[in-house]
Amino acid sequence: MSVKPGEFEASKELTINNRLGLHARAAARLVETAEQFNAEIYLEKDGQTVDAKSVISLLTLECPPGSEVLIRARGQDSQSALEAITELIENDFGE
């Protein structure tokens, strides 16, 4: 997937800090949160970009604890989507 940086209305850099990283359960939480919004949401790590609404893609991005990721969102509710995801990650996915 290639996305041009300028196309995004909202983006933020975050660190994954929960116990196991972006494992199955955390990835599922992230998808559930992302799906509440119409905005397209992407996660970027080490030059790889994936759809935040796909558990499989998120898993293959491989984010152990300490990973730094860039969240990008585009669409009408992109700002609130970004806020919700930030809260989820900063709260260690509620673990």
Partner 1 sequence: MKIPEFINKNSIMTGVAASPGIVIGQAYLVDRSKVEIFYQYLIDESFIKEEVERFKRAVQEAQSQCEEIKNDMPANLGEHTYILDTHLLILKDSMIYQATIDLIKHEKINAEWALKKAVDRAREMFEQIKDEYIRSRIKDVEYVSERIMRNLVGQVPENLAEIKDRVIIVAHDLSPADTTQIRLDMVMGFIINMGGKTSHTTIIAQALEIPAVVGLESCTRRIKTGDLIVVDGNAGHVVINPDEKTLRFYRGRQQSYESYQAEIVRCAYLPAETLDGHRLVVKANIEMFEEVAAVADHGGDGIGLYRTEFHYLSRRQLPSEEELFRDYRDVAQIIAPQPLTIRTVDLGGDRFASTLDWADEMNPALGLRAIRFSLKEKSIFKDQLRAILRSSTYGNVKVMFPMISGLGELLEAKEVLEEVRQTLSREEIEYNPNMEVGIMIEVPSAVVLADVLAGEVDFFSIGTNDLIQYSLAIDRVNERVAHMYEPLHPAVLRMVKTVVEAGHAAGITVSMCGEMAGDPICAPILLALGLDELSMPNTAVPRIKRLIRMTSMNECQEYLDTILKCRTVNEVNRFVEEVIIKRFAIHPDVVARGIRE
Query: Residue 11 catalytic?
Result: no
Residue 62 one-letter amino acid = E
* 68 touching partner 1, by CB under 8 A: no
Give the three-state DSSP class for 71: strand
* 32 touching partner 1, by CB under 8 A: yes
* Binding window for partner 1 (CB under 8 A); candidates: 5-13, 27-35, 38-46, 82-90: 27-35
Cβ proximity to partner 1, 59 vs 79, nearer residue: 59
Residue 70 one-letter amino acid = L
CA 85 – CA 41 distance, rounded (Å): 10
Give the three-state DSSP class for 88: helix
Distance of CA 35 to the CA centre of its chain: 11
Catalytic one of 23, 55, 74, 83: 23
* 23 touching partner 1, by CB under 8 A: yes
Residues 43 and 21: beta-carbon distance below 8 Å: no
* 83 touching partner 1, by CB under 8 A: no
Applying CB under 8 A, the residues found at the interface with partner 1 are 17, 19-20, 23-25, 27-28, 31-32, 51, 53-57, 59-60, 62, 64-66
